[in-house]
Structure 1
Amino acid sequence: MSSFEELSVGDVVDGEVTAVVPFGVFVRIADDADGLLPQATGPEVGTPVRVRLIAIDVERHRAALARV
């Protein structure tokens, strides 16, 4: 896995679900960061998922994701 600073909008990465919340799931997208996959249903913690980065906020260390 790479670091958050190496990622760009449009990148497709393989990640793992780290948390399930009412509004989606958080996916580990880099060694040092998770991103939000909104309104995702079904994946449980530990499930591998492939996602595309649709927005990155470097200052807040956050990323918005879409399922591929």
Structure 2
Amino acid sequence: MSHTEFSIESWRRFVGAHAVGGVLDATIVEIVPFGAFLEVAPGVHGLWHRSEWREDALDPEVGAAMSVRILAIDDERHRVSLAAA
């Protein structure tokens, strides 16, 4: 499943269980020029924008697990913004 494909039911479960400021475990699924997409729940991906990367995290790898903090949840556009926790 690409970061643009998701289950609306998975999204609803995620939004119902998590809030801005929450910390959770995620897995990097794709590296893109502007950041990385992480799976934060089954079928739900969030963006860790490059502007949020700390100096000690400049070389993320696909498959790596990490703790992230939720910066924003856009329920209308089904987007989650993340930062390293």
TM normalised by structure 1 equals 0.88
Alignment of 1:1-68 (within 5 A): 3-5=13-15, 6-39=17-50, 40=53, 41-68=58-85
Structure 1 unmatched runs, 5+: none
Aligned residues: CA RMSD = 1.1
CA distance in 2, matches of 1:24, 1:49: 15
Q: Distance in 2 between matches of 1:65 and 1:15?
A: 10
Q: Which has the higher helix share?
A: 2
Greater C-alpha radius of gyration? 2
- Structure 2 unaligned spans of 5+: 1-12
Question: How big is each residue's C-alpha offset from its partner over 1:10-66, in whole Å with a ceiling of 9 and x where there is no partner?
Answer: 110000001000011011111121111111431111000110001000121111001
Q: Which runs of 4+ in 1 moved over 4 A?
A: none
% identical equivalent positions: 42
Structure (1 or 2) with the greater strand fraction? 1
